[in-house]
Each structure stands twice: as C-alpha cells, then as structure tokens.
Structure 1
Amino acid sequence: MEPQFDFEPAARSLAAIVDGISDNQLGDPTPSGESTVRDLLGHVVGLTEAFRQAATKEAVGNSAPPSSGADMTLPADWRTGIAAQLETLTAAWREPQAWDGDTEAGGVEMPAAIMAIVALDEIVIHGWDLAVATGQKLRVDPTDLAILHEFLRETDPAGTPGLFGPIVEIPADAPEFDRLLGLTGRDPAWRSSAVA
C-alpha cells in the first residue's frame, strides 16, 4: 500500500517545539493529566521509537504498554535525540510496506494504516501539549488536521480510557484545531501558570 500521508510536517513541528524547551521548564505542568514537561518528553522519546518499530513491523509480538511518569527516564541528549527519532520515524513510514497488514505498538495490534494515524495523533497532540506548557505555538499542517479530525470525529463523549479524557465541548464556530483538541479531552484555553 502506498503511504497515505507524510509525517514530515508534524515531525518538524514537534522537533521545533522540543528544541524551544529550556531545562528550567522540565518540571512545569502540562495539559496532559498530571504529566510534567519532563514526563511528556520521556513519553515522546518512547512513542517515537515505538511507532518507528510499528512501521518496520519489528515490534509485532514483542511490544509492551508504555511506561509513564516516574518510571520514565529522560536521556541527556533529549533535544537532539527526539529530533533524530522523529526523522527515522518519518523515513520508516515512507516505505510502502509500512502501511500493509497489521502492526503493533504499546501492546496494541491494529491495521498499519490506522496505527499511522494514531502515531500522527500522538505527535500532533503532544506537540500542542508541550507547546502550550512552554509558551510556544505549534504549527499544524492542514492535511494532518483534516486526517485527525476525520479519525476523531466519532470519539466517545466519555473519552477513551488510557488515551483521551472526556470530550470538552467546543463551539462549532471555533477554529478547527480547537475543536480537534476538544475531541481529545483537552481545553484549548488551557495555559500554564508557569508561563508569564
């Protein structure tokens, strides 16, 4: 199967946000539950590798649920490391065979084409989490926004345990990305008390 979309715009946007995070912001809160910036960066380290392995199918049969919070360590080279992992993830999903059949990530198996959208969702939404937590602005590609809106439009209002909180109602005339954030259980108006 030919690739359905390219990860480069989302990967580049997330890498730019990560590069803009200072060491003194690592303990700051994020809109992602109880996660700090450090916790979320650790999650991004894990998910970028997990979804690369999903593309190559090397994770099938041996992936595990991601660790979280205090269980995660943040590598010393996290800025350059995350950028490099985003590049390898992008390259892996450019291979047509990445989109064929089923694959696995985080202990969950699903069709590869759906897994790719889940990966895109993680990159874009956590990019926003990190951006708003650190006083930055995330650039979202219109094509990615359309893909994710279609993917999430049937989200259960109660949310998806372990993935999304209950839907936050957003006015129909709000910007499309704000409405997308609401579908993931996020309030687009969230701001960190640590950001002046």
Structure 2
Amino acid sequence: MRERHFDAPTPCAAYTVRDLLRHLLGLTVAFRDAARKDFGPATRTDPADPDAPRPEPAGDWRGRLRTQLDELVAAWREPAAWRGETEAGGITLPAPVAGAVALNEVFLHGWDLARATGQPYRADEATARACSPCWRSRRTRRSGRPPASVRPSPYRRTPRCWSGRWRTAGGCRPGARAAGDPGARAGVRTRRPGANRAPGGTGAATVSR
C-alpha cells in the first residue's frame, strides 16, 4: 500500500484509504488497551466524535501499524482479556463483545483496504464465522428481521458476502459510526471468537512501500 492510494475511495462510502488507515491506527491501540483493561484516552474516545484526535498515516506509519497489530493480537491471547467488562469507544461493554468487535474491525477493514488498492484478500472462514454475530446483529437492526442463516458456499467466502455489504450500497454509511464500532455493538451476545482466536492474522493485503 502506497501513499498514492491515500485519496482512493473504499467500500466504506464515507471513508478514503487515508481515513481507514487513521481508523485502524486508532482502534488497534484502543482495543489493545481494552484487552489489557488499561483504561485511558485511547479507550474513552468516541470514534463518532468529529473532534476526536485521529492518528495520521505519516512517518513510519507502516511500522506503527504492524507493531500495534502485533500488540493487539498478543493482548487478546491473554485469558484475562476475555473476562468481565472493559471499555472501548467511550462505553463499557462485556469483554467478549469487545474481542469480537476488534476481530471484526481488523478483518473487514483489511478487506476494505485490499479492495481499494487492488490487492488480494483471502477470507478465513473460521474468522468470518466468528465475526458473523456482529454482522447479523447489524443486519437485523437495519431490516427489523433476522437474516437467513449464513451457509458456506464459494460465493459467500469473501467479507463482502459474509458481512452483508453486498446487500447495501457502500457498506459503511456516511454519518454513521464505522462498522464494528463498540457503540453499535454493545448488545451483541457472542462467544470468544474462533475458540480463543486472537484478532488479526487474516487476509493478504500488505502495506509495503
């Protein structure tokens, strides 16, 4: 991924590549600290707040993002991360919900960036199934009725199909909270995603120079 891609549109209609990189640079710290129960500005910032600080993809942003993703994965591999409640996005929520949201964010926005920059992204079916409670919850709220069961088939093995974005133009709506935002997920009931699977490790999009 190169700086020339920064102004390119993404499947999230309200977000450019630069916007999603800012989002990922912020959320990887927020959900790392949520796993550690290390509450502070990173976990208390509402991502929907237009005045909230946004990390910029400047300098060695690739190195920062890789490091933060590694730290996010390590934090959620700790059993204590899944116990009790935590804080993210300025709200208190069950720790398993926060873990599911973190996985959903990394998985789906990784696909967004891959699509926007013309890179391959192979969906990990186990991760997609772990994320599906978040997507089903969003689609149920939007339509007023539960969606049909998600069944494995070749055309469904992309995040676009698993998440239901193929049903909606653009996926992330302008003016709405970003997909996977904990404020939109607080009511999700879920198990530990992927049998203690940590966020990250899916897809093939790269941030090489």
* Superposition TM-score, scaled by structure 1 size: 0.70
Equivalent in the alignment of 1:110: 93
Give the secondary structure class of the aligned counterpart of 1:58. coil
* Structure 1, 49-58 or 33-42: larger mean CA deviation: 33-42
Are 2:3 and 1:23 aligned? yes
Give the secondary structure class of the aligned counterpart of 1:155. helix
Distance 1:25 1:179 in 2: 24
Distance 2:72 2:16 in 1: 24
Q: How far does residue 70 in structure 1 lie from its aligned partner after superposition?
A: 10
**Preserved CA contact (<8 Å) 1:49 1:89:** yes
Structure 1 residues 103 and 129: alpha-carbon distance in aligned structure 2, compared to 1, 3 A threshold: same
Amino acid at match of 1:38: R
Q: How far does residue 38 in structure 1 lie from its aligned partner after superposition?
A: 0.9
Are 2:86 and 1:99 aligned? no
CA RMSD after TM alignment: 3.3
Distance 1:111 1:140 in 2: 27
Which of residues 144, 159, 164 is equivalent to 1:182? 164
Distance 1:133 1:142 in 2: 22
Equivalent in the alignment of 1:192: none
Distance 1:69 1:135 in 2: 32
Equivalent in the alignment of 1:127: 110
Give the secondary structure class of the aligned counterpart of 1:104. strand
Structure 1 residues 186 and 70: alpha-carbon distance in aligned structure 2, compared to 1, 3 A threshold: farther
**Preserved CA contact (<8 Å) 2:135 2:163:** no
Structure 1 residues 89 and 23: alpha-carbon distance in aligned structure 2, compared to 1, 3 A threshold: same
Are 2:31 and 1:48 aligned? no
Amino acid at match of 1:57: K
Distance 1:158 1:36 in 2: 26
Distance 2:167 2:17 in 1: 18
Give the secondary structure class of the aligned counterpart of 1:31. coil
Structure with more contact order per residue of length (Cα contacts < 8 Å, sep ≥ 6): 2
Amino acid at match of 2:44: S
Amino acid at match of 1:30: T
Distance 2:51 2:9 in 1: 12
* Superposition TM-score, scaled by structure 2 size: 0.66
* Structure 1, 133-142 or 98-107: larger mean CA deviation: 133-142
What are the ranges of 5 or more consecutive residues in structure 2 without an aligned counterpart?
A: 171-209
Identity %: 38
Which of residues 32, 54, 62 is equivalent to 2:12? 32
Structure 1 residues 157 and 94: alpha-carbon distance in aligned structure 2, compared to 1, 3 A threshold: closer
* Structure 1, 138-147 or 179-188: larger mean CA deviation: 179-188
Which of residues 141, 144, 152 is equivalent to 2:135? 152
What are the ranges of 5 or more consecutive residues in structure 1 without an aligned counterpart?
A: 1-20, 161-168, 189-196
Amino acid at match of 2:2: S
